Amino acid sequence: MSKVVDNFLKYIAFDTQSAEDAASVPSTEKQFALAKLLVEQLKALGVKDVSMSEHCYVYGTIPATAETDCPVVGFLAHMDTSPDFSDENTRPQLIQNYNGGDIILNKNLGIKMSPEVFPALKNYVGKDLITTDGTSLLGGDDKAGIAEIMTMAEYFMAHPEIPHGTIKIAFTPDEEVGHGVDFFDVPGWGADVAYTVDGGAFGEMEYETFNAASMSVTIHGQNIHPGSAKGKMKNAILIGLEFQSMLPEAEKPQYTEMYEGFYHLNGISGNVEETVLKYIVRDHDKEIFESRKAMGHTIADFLNKKYGEGTVVVETSDTYYNMAEKIRPHMYLMDIAAEAFKELGVDTPNVRPVRGGTDGSRLSYMGLPCPNLCTGDHNAHGKYEFVCIQSMEQTVELLIRIAEKFKDVKKA
């Protein structure tokens, strides 16, 4: 078993699911258990300045082995897994030399993963995969990234003869709930630029993300006994459904791709008296993003004229912005990664927009330009998640080569 796989299997044994709407960072105390293991591993490797903050951020430094005035490069991955699906009692399955057919995840439950439904599987015939057993997510998002960074660190610490500049390492909590860098110490960490290792198939890299906001719609109704409700009842549930019907039908996540934004209704609760709809709003284009948020208020104005002032209350809150604006002045980060990919057989990396966000989205606006690299993970946030072992091994080599190349970059 390769070292990166060994690390990965250790990490996914930890339940690190984060929680929405928590008042603290980390949102779940259980994330500290994995953080403590990572601290122990880094110290055992001889990594310097290893620490864990009160908010569960793990930091470390691989000292320079060459005299060079190059930028300090950092690599980050997040410890938490999505609240969308359980990561408790993860039982990974090893599929060696995948034959291209259906993968039985759980025979007793009748759960299988088919290349007809998940065509990315067709790219891994003859490769080795790690899947779930159909009862949890796998945790490759982003424990694959953690395993790859840790394995890179082990390589450099074991080979001090290899010349490189200072390399920074960090592992963060709560990325999945949008709070992954709330307390990240950018100045104290000391990196000039960084990469998140939080992507998909080997060969992919990204420097564009959505602009993102949450939108909460509260409907204040008026409940009357249905037997005498004529002309008096104001059904908050039905008004909520009316609000949803006024959003563009084609701009739901299931109908969009690439640079197309969306409105996503991801929660609804309430009764006749009061109903709350929870949305996430996304777009790559900042101007269109602003118009999407304005649309919610426009619909509210219309419904308030129809049903009475104060019936519909819309609140929006920005979550993160498209990091492309902050990375474009530092496109050498993408060029270095592209050179490393080419050396590993990927002549043209797949540069595509992230249809979501990464810790790098906010870090880039905190003064740390931070594009995103692949991990080899697929189908995150659900029971069909899998990673390709060969892709993980290649990603370790990718990180090593990127870090080595920085010694030849002149610090601005």
Residue whose token pair is 């110290």: 43
Three-class secondary structure of residue 388 per DSSP: strand
Using alpha carbons, select from 215, 312, 221 the residue that is nearest to residue 265.
Answer: 215
Domain span at 233: 211-319
| Cis ω for the linkage preceding 141 (within 30 of 0) | no
CATH value at residue 204 = 3.40.630.10
Q: List average pLDDT for each run of 10 residues in the chain, which is 412 residues long.
A: 94 96 93 98 98 98 94 97 93 97 96 96 97 96 97 98 97 92 96 96 94 96 88 93 96 93 95 96 95 97 96 94 93 97 96 84 94 96 97 98 95 79
Both 296 and 333 in one domain: the answer is no
pLDDT at position 1 is 63
Both 219 and 192 in one domain: the answer is no
Both 11 and 152 in one domain: the answer is yes
Q: What is the dihedral of CA 79, 155, 331, 280, to 10 degrees?
A: -10
Say if residue 198 carries a ligand binding annotation.
yes
Say if residue 78 carries a ligand binding annotation.
yes
Distances (CA, A) of 16 to 90, 111, 147: 11, 24, 15
Structure tokens at 365: 């606006």
Active site residues: 80, 175
Contact 268, 275 (CB under 8 A): yes
CATH value at residue 297 = 3.30.70.360
Contact 371, 206 (CB under 8 A): yes
Residue whose token pair is 């640079």: 259
Ramachandran sector of residue 46 (left: φ over 0; alpha: ψ -120 to 50; beta: rest): left
pLDDT at position 357 is 74
Both 215 and 304 in one domain: the answer is yes
Both 307 and 327 in one domain: the answer is no
Within 246-316, residue ranges assigned H as helices are 286-307
Both 401 and 290 in one domain: the answer is no
Residue whose token pair is 């694959």: 144
Both 141 and 128 in one domain: the answer is yes
d(CA 121, CA 105): 14
Strands (E), 25-120: 48-52, 58-62, 73-78, 93-95, 103-106, 111-113
How many domains is the chain partitioned into structurally? 2
d(CA 267, CA 215): 11
Say if residue 381 carries a ligand binding annotation.
yes
Both 173 and 80 in one domain: the answer is yes
Structure tokens at 382: 């659900």
Say if residue 40 carries a ligand binding annotation.
no
pLDDT at position 412 is 74
Structure tokens at 39: 């601290």
